[in-house]
Amino acid sequence: MRTLTVAAPAKINLSLDITGLREDGYHLLRSVMQSIDLSDYLTISLIDGPAAIKLTSEEKNLPLDSRNTCHRAAAYWLDLCGSSYSIIIDIEKNIPSEAGLGGGSSDAAAVLRALNSLSGDLLTDDELHRAALWTGADVPFCLAGGISLCEGVGEIIEPLPAMPEGHLLLLKPYFGLSTPEVFKQVDKMDKSELIDHKEIIPAVRQGDWGKLGKLTGNALQQAALALRPDLAEYLEILEETASQMVMMTGSGTCCYAVYDNEAACDAAERFVADRLPIGSSLFRSKTI
């Protein structure tokens, strides 16, 4: 038996725009994604023997069958590499669900990386990328990590130069929103927010958090607010701090603020903690 424990870092969207709709109903996106150090931890064991997948976790609400992205990633890896392995995956969850932080996608990417390492790199980088895309839209980015411009349904990834380290506060409401529900709401609404990546990308390349904060946006944020108007309270609390930018990540419901130094983040954390809505969670993190 070969065993490896790996981190599965969360992601935030530094921008998110909808660029089109495919015939199969999938929305085409353009987004700058950034890895952060809030992580799940996975222990993956690879055993010679008949094909089998077993998931374990102390997280009570986590599905441990084919509904879990880790299971889907492992099953697809087995399909590509043959059926002579059994796989055991233990998942330590720290990334909240229905938050827009890509926890499930990052877990799946970590499984693919670990299985390939444990097997002596049976899959090429291109094959791993295809396996990631098959597993889920954000999985290819999570496989690569860092900061990238991601387009299409996640298959087009352009690495970008690292921004200066951003100190983050993540404010997760007590409620979540499902991604399909948010996209259904988007389709009912007029697209009024224009996000210009021709300006956003230069701000990223310049490493200017303040400029990025003035230019960027999330095309899903208004839909999320339409479904849960109380989400506005969380954004407003963060906007009262001395941050470089405030935005909801992904399809929500987690909102985040970026600070360019630790002292500013410390002060903001004290301010937000005193105003934390009942049932919500506050996390500290950094960009990686």
What is the arithmetic mean of pLDDT over 46-54? 92
Task: pLDDT band for 26, please (50, 70, 90 cuts).
Answer: confident
* 59 and 16 within one domain: yes
What is the arithmetic mean of pLDDT over 239-246? 98
Q: What is the pLDDT of residue 69?
A: 96
* 113 and 52 within one domain: yes
User: Which amino acid, one-letter code, is at 147?
Assistant: I
* 189 and 122 within one domain: no
Q: Where are the beta strands (DSSP E) in 106-206?
A: 147-152, 156-159, 167-172
* Contact between residue 122 and residue 116 where contact means Cβ atoms under 8 Å apart: yes
* 7 and 146 within one domain: yes
What is the arithmetic mean of pLDDT over 243-248? 98
Q: What is the pLDDT of residue 203?
A: 98
* 177 and 86 within one domain: no
24 has a pLDDT exceeding 90? no
What is the arithmetic mean of pLDDT over 195-208? 96
For residue 213, give the nearest of 204, 225, 222 by alpha carbon: 204
147 has a pLDDT exceeding 90? yes
195 has a pLDDT exceeding 80? yes
Count CB atoms within 10 A of the CB of residue 161.
Answer: 10
Active site residue ranges: 11, 138
70-129 per-position pLDDT tens digit = 999 999 999 998 778 999 999 999 999 999 999 999 999 999 999 999 999 999 999 999
Q: What is the pLDDT of residue 84?
A: 85
Classified as helix, coil or strand, 126 is helix
Q: CA–CA separation, 62 vs 105, rounded Å? A: 14
* Contact between residue 287 and residue 137 where contact means Cβ atoms under 8 Å apart: no
Q: Which of 124, 159, 194 is the last residue of a domain?
A: 159
The count of domains in the chain is 2
Domain range enclosing 173: 167-286
Q: What is the pLDDT of residue 193?
A: 65
Sign of CA dihedral 82, 85, 88, 93: negative
> Which CATH number do you get for residue 174?
3.30.70.890
Between vectors from CA 185 to CA 181 and to CA 189, what angle results, nearest 5°? 170
What is the arithmetic mean of pLDDT over 34-60? 95
* 145 and 278 within one domain: no
Q: Which of 116, 131, 159 is the last residue of a domain?
A: 159
* 30 and 139 within one domain: yes
Report percent pLDDT > 90 for the chain: 91
List C-alpha distances in Å: 143 to 35, 38, 125, 148. Answer: 10, 16, 10, 12
List C-alpha distances in Å: 71 to 219, 227, 278. Answer: 30, 31, 34
Q: What is the pLDDT of residue 25?
A: 82
Task: pLDDT band for 37, please (50, 70, 90 cuts).
Answer: very high
* 155 and 14 within one domain: yes
Q: Which of 107, 140, 159 is the last residue of a domain?
A: 159
* Contact between residue 171 and residue 233 where contact means Cβ atoms under 8 Å apart: no
* 211 and 134 within one domain: no
pTM: 0.95
* 274 and 231 within one domain: yes
Q: Where are the beta strands (DSSP E) in the chain?
A: 2-13, 17-21, 27-48, 52-57, 85-92, 147-152, 156-159, 167-172, 245-248, 255-259, 281-286
Q: CA–CA separation, 6 vs 43, rounded Å? A: 6
List C-alpha distances in Å: 74 to 1, 88, 117, 206. Answer: 16, 9, 13, 39
239 has a pLDDT exceeding 70? yes
For residue 272, give the nearest of 245, 241, 242, 230 by alpha carbon: 241
What is the arithmetic mean of pLDDT over 52-65? 95
Q: What is the pLDDT of residue 23?
A: 86
Q: Which of 21-30, 59-68, 85-94, 128-137 has the lowest mean pLDDT?
A: 21-30
* 119 and 7 within one domain: yes
* 278 and 251 within one domain: yes
> Which CATH number do you get for residue 10?
3.30.230.10
